[in-house]
Amino acid sequence: MSRQSTVGSRQGRTPGPVVRRARAEDGQRIVDLDRELARFEKLQPPDNTEAARLLSWIFESKKLEAFVAELDGAVEGIALFYEGLGTFRAKPFLYLEDLVVSEAARSRGVGEALMAALAREALTRGALRIEWAVLDWNARAMSFYDRLGARRPHEWIKHALEGEELERVASRGGS
């Protein structure tokens, strides 16, 4: 994506974030920001093997896509996403797996610039929507998404199988 998003570029003001597709040389910064998010979410950050797999998904297999946002030439935010399929409408949607803005760059337009780039990408692909999940205690993120006009579809409740439960279900009868 060659589009750039700039905010506050009037003379005398610091230029805003520039959003672009991630490049391989952004890999370490993507990992650093992903680890920052894990710590914020009170999760174990990815180890080196997991980090290498993440970067492989972005830059080799293309299972995951990434936008980065730069401020003053430094990557200060990332949006990691992938395309899903809406079967009833037979159209894609984008799932935002992670939106991360460095602590130092918060409230400087980085998150909004990344979401705007993701919205443009969704429209370019003819996507139905962008979906994501927010931890129920992350009031700042919920407020940010509310300001963007995102809705919270209360009729849908997220479920997950992992660990022992996943293994138990997989071991049940059938083919």
The CATH code of the domain that includes 57 is 3.40.630.30
The amino acid that residue 128 corresponds to is L
Does residue 137 carry a pLDDT above 90? yes
Residue 56 lies in a domain: yes
Helix axes 110-124, 139-148, angle to 10 degrees: 50
pTM of the shown model: 0.88
Cα angle value 31/52/105 (rounded, 5°): 10
Helical pair 48-59 and 27-40, crossing angle rounded to 10 deg: 120
Range 146-165 average pLDDT: 94
Residue 155 lies in a domain: yes
148 or 156, greater pLDDT? 148
Q: In terms of residue numbers, what domain contains 91?
A: 18-170
Residue 97 maps to a domain: yes
When pLDDT is averaged across residues 145-164 and rounded to a whole number, the result is 94
Domain assignment present for residue 37? The answer is: yes
Kindly state whether residue 9 falls inside one of the protein's structural domains: no
- Within a domain: 78: yes
Please tell me the predicted confidence (pLDDT) of residue 52: 98
Catalytic residues: 145
Domain annotation covers residue 6: no
Instruction: Provide the 8-state DSSP code for 42.
Output: T
Which one, of 121, 12, 29, lies nearest residue 73 by Cα? 29
Between CA 63 and CA 71, with CA 68 as vertex, the angle to 5 degrees is 175
Total tally of structural domains belonging to the chain: 1
